[in-house]
Structures are given as C-alpha cells and as structure tokens.
C-alpha cells in the first residue's frame, strides 16, 4: 500500500493518478508506503538474488515487472586509490554494469513497469544520454513507442547509438538539457505520453535500491555515500530508500550523503556552501562530463534535504580532476567508467586532500555509467594504437 505525497505541502494523491508534480503547489511528489504494513525481514531479502527486485516490498510495482535483469552490480574495493588517499575503506559501486550500462536501468525497470500498469501506451524523456538509452531499451522490451529529446551535439556517442538501436524516436534540440526537459514535460502533459525523467516519483523508487545493495554487499551502513549530481534524482532516491530502511528498523544510522558536481555546473554545491534555501540555476552549464551538464536540477528540493539531514556535503571538481580520476580508475583499479561517474571518486580525492574526510570513514562512491558510453572522450585522452607492418621484427621494434 502506498500513495503519492507532495514533499512541500503534503497533499496526497492515489497511485492511479497520472501526475508528476503537485497540482496544488507545483512541488515534487514522493512515494509513501504504509511501512507498518510491510511484512518482510532482511533475512528473507538476503535469500533472494541481489537485484532491484530483491526489495520488491519497497517498490510500487504489483504485477510482473518489465525487466532486463538490472541491479546486482559489483561493489569494488578501491585498494590502490584508497591507499593513496589515506582511505583504506574506499569502495566503488559500479552501476555501469547494468543492462544498458548505467544506473538508469534501476529506475526504468520500475518506471516502465508502472507505465504499463497505469495503461500508458507511449513513453518519453529528455536526456543527457543515459536516460534515453535506458528508456529506449525498456520501452522496446515492453513493446511501447518511445520519444527522447537530447541536447544537440552534447550527448556521448555510445548513448545516442543505444537510443537509436533500441528504436526510440530520437530528437535533438538546439538547446541544453534543462530546455529539453521543460519541452518534454509539456509534450507529455499535452499529448498524454508518460514522462520518465527523474521528476517521475516511481522511477526514483528503482534507483533507491543502489543504497540497499551497497549495505547488503558491505555488510553494514557506509559512513558516507558519494554520488555525481546532475538532476539530483539519484542522490535523493538513495537517501529516501535508506530512510525507509531506518524506519523499518533494518539500519540504525544513515550515511553522510555527498553530492559531487562539475565545476562548470554546480548549483547544488553553491546552495550547500552558501546555505541557501533554494538552488540558483546555472544558465550555461558546461563540462566534459556531459551526463551531468545540468544547470537547473529538478530534484534540488529533495537533494538539499538528503545532504543536510545526514550531515553530508557537496563539492565541485574540475574537468581535469574528473579525467585524471577516470584514468586512475581504469589504470590502477581496472574499472572503466564514463567521466560523470569518475566525478564521485574525484570529489572524494578533493575532499581528502582538503583534509575534510576522516581516514577511518567507510565510503561508497557510486560510479554511475560505463566507460564505453563515451568512447570519444576516452580516445581523445589516450595515445592512438601504434600501426606497424605485419611482421615480428616490426612488432619487436615497436615494443622497444
Ligand atoms: N552519472 C551519470 C552517468 C548520469 O547519466 C547522470 C544523469 C548522473 C550521474 C546524475 O544523476 O541526474 O540523478 O543527479 N543523467 C541523466 C540523463 C540526466 O539524462 O541520462 P542525477
């Protein structure tokens, strides 16, 4: 049993309403469960395979989900990078290992399942890339048409390739992500498509399972969880889920929720450091980490609570710091991630270097998308392959 509740005015809505924001005050909605009515133990969860659906009692879907076997991603111990930073308990949860290569699949399995349960016959999103790749795949699985709006020229190649190959109607707009989101919202409201951006409260329900899995894999609650922030949906989702575990008595404390943004688009960081009640949108966000090139995070209201209520923080990293960490993760730990994903670990490096992290902390950084999402940024950073004649002599001289 659950209902939709406005995070601002508390207005409530029944789950069958097709609604994305509060009709009374325009603020965000959240899914609120009757936690007293939830009858499951952690032991029962632990007997199930690790995946989004291990936690189905805390998800809104009632029927058979539209699933591509999402979740159950690895939690890696970052031994070398952790040692360098004086953080022996540094971990990375590799969300790039999901079916379409990003954490968005956790949201889409739930969001597209709900679209079907609500009787919606088409879906849409705006995207910096990963959301569109994921929605296109889950819409294909569900057999419903999908429209995606992308900021022209600012989406990594792998992500566009996925959206196209999975059969989405792909539209590039001459404007940034924030504008694309505004447009797709209007499209959905006026034309009856189902909106699957992170303003959709059901989608965030799937994403909260990142936190559940991290705790199950670590065997305890980490002291800090670190996430790259774009639209601020994921950090809000993970916090919400952990609050629910706390209310159920499954955990007795929450990690310090820590958001990392790119220096060229850091409205959340500014709001936290200047103690603002609301974010001031960045009109021209810019970063090499195109996934988080977002100036007006839609979920700001939820994210501010997540950071403040847990004694967390927010920090910004430069493009150079992001790329340096992308290379370190790849070369020192064998973990291939896209630039936005390296931002979380780059942020921890920065906070550690500033002396703002206690060396005893157990830290889980969420690395959100796979290396292959953005091959062009990778190739630009690396030496091209050495081309030689096809004989051993040439090979030996090339290796010398
Ligand atoms: N990391 C990656 C790889 C992303 O694709 C995104 C968001 C984020 C981090 C930030 O997550 O928005 O919940 O704060 N990508 C969206 C998209 C905006 O369209 O794919 P957030």
Ligand 1 touching residue 369 (CB < 6 A): yes
SS3 201: helix
Distance 120 CA to ligand 1 centre (A): 24
- Tell me the torsion sign for CA atoms 99, 101, 102, 104: negative
Ligand 1 touching residue 110 (CB < 6 A): no
Task: Please give the chain's pLDDT, 400 residues, in tens.
Answer: 899 999 999 999 999 999 999 999 999 999 999 999 999 999 999 999 999 999 999 999 999 999 999 999 999 999 999 999 999 999 999 999 999 999 999 999 999 999 999 999 999 999 999 999 999 999 999 999 999 999 999 999 999 999 999 999 999 999 999 999 999 999 999 999 999 999 999 999 999 999 999 999 999 999 999 999 999 999 999 999 999 999 999 999 999 999 999 999 999 999 999 999 999 999 999 999 999 999 999 999 999 999 999 999 999 999 999 999 999 999 999 999 999 999 999 999 999 999 999 999 999 999 999 999 999 999 999 999 999 999 999 999 999 9
Ligand 1 touching residue 326 (CB < 6 A): no
Distance 346 CA to ligand 1 centre (A): 16
Pairwise CA distance, residues 242 & 246, whole Å: 6
Distance 230 CA to ligand 1 centre (A): 5
Pairwise CA distance, residues 237 & 95, whole Å: 15
SS3 53: helix
Distance 381 CA to ligand 1 centre (A): 22
Residue from 238, 292, 303 whose mutation best tests the ligand 1 pocket (most atoms within 8 A of CB)? 292
Q: Where are the alpha helices (DSSP H) in the chain?
A: 42-47, 79-85, 104-117, 130-142, 157-165, 177-191, 201-207, 209-218, 233-247, 267-273, 300-309, 319-332, 339-353, 375-381, 392-399
User: For residue 131, which atom of ligand 1 is closest to its CA?
Assistant: 20
Give the Cα-Cα-Cα angle 226, 251, 248 (nearest 5 degrees): 120
User: For residue 303, which atom of ligand 1 is closest to its CA?
Assistant: 14
Residue from 228, 239, 295 whose mutation best tests the ligand 1 pocket (most atoms within 8 A of CB)? 228
Distance 313 CA to ligand 1 centre (A): 19
Which pLDDT does position 325 carry in this prediction? 98
Which pLDDT does position 369 carry in this prediction? 98
Give the residue from 238, 216, 215, 217 showing the smallest Cα distance to 226: 238
């Amino acid at each position: 049993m659950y209902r939709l509740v406005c995070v601002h005015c508390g207005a409530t809505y029944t789950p069958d309403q097709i609604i994305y924001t509060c009709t009374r005050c325009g603020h965000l909605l959240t899914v609120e469960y009757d936690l007293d009515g939830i009858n499951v133990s952690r032991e029962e969860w632990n007997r199930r395979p690790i995946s989004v659906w291990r936690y189905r009692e805390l998800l809104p879907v009632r029927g058979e989900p539209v699933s591509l076997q999402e979740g159950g991603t690895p939690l890696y111990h970052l031994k070398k990078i952790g040692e360098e930073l004086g953080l022996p308990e540094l971990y990375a949860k590799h969300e790039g290992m999901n079916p379409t290569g990003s954490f968005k699949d956790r949201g889409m399995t739930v969001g597209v399942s709900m679209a079907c349960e609500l009787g919606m016959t088409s879906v849409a999103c705006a995207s910096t890339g990963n959301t569109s790749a994921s929605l296109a795949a889950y819409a294909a699985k569900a057999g419903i048409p999908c429209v995606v709006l992308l900021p022209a020229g600012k989406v990594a190649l792998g992500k566009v390739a996925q959206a196209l190959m999975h059969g989405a109607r792909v539209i590039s707009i001459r404007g940034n992500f924030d504008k694309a989101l505004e447009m797709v919202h209007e499209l959905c409201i006026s034309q009856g498509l189902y909106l699957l951006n992170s303003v959709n409260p059901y989608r965030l329900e799937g994403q909260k399972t990142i936190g559940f899995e991290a705790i199950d894999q670590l065997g305890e609650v980490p002291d800090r969880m670190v996430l790259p922030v774009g639209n601020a949906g994921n950090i809000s989702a993970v916090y919400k889920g952990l609050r629910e575990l706390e209310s159920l008595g499954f955990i007795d404390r929450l990690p310090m929720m820590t958001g990392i943004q790119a220096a060229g688009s850091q409205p959340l960081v500014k709001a936290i450091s200047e103690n603002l009640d609301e974010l001031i949108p960045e009109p021209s966000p810019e970063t090499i980490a195109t996934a988080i090139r977002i100036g007006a995070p839609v979920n700001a209201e939820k994210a501010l609570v997540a950071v403040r209520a847990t004694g967390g923080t927010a920090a910004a990293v430069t493009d150079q710091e992001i790329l340096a960490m992308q290379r370190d993760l790849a070369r020192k730990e064998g973990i291939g991630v896209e630039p936005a994903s390296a931002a979380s670990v780059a942020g921890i490096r920065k906070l550690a270097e500033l002396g703002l992290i206690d060396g005893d902390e157990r830290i889980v950084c969420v690395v959100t998308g796979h290396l292959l999402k953005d091959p062009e940024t990778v190739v630009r950073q690396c030496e091209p392959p050495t081309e030689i004649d096809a004989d051993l002599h040439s090979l030996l001289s090339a290796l010398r």
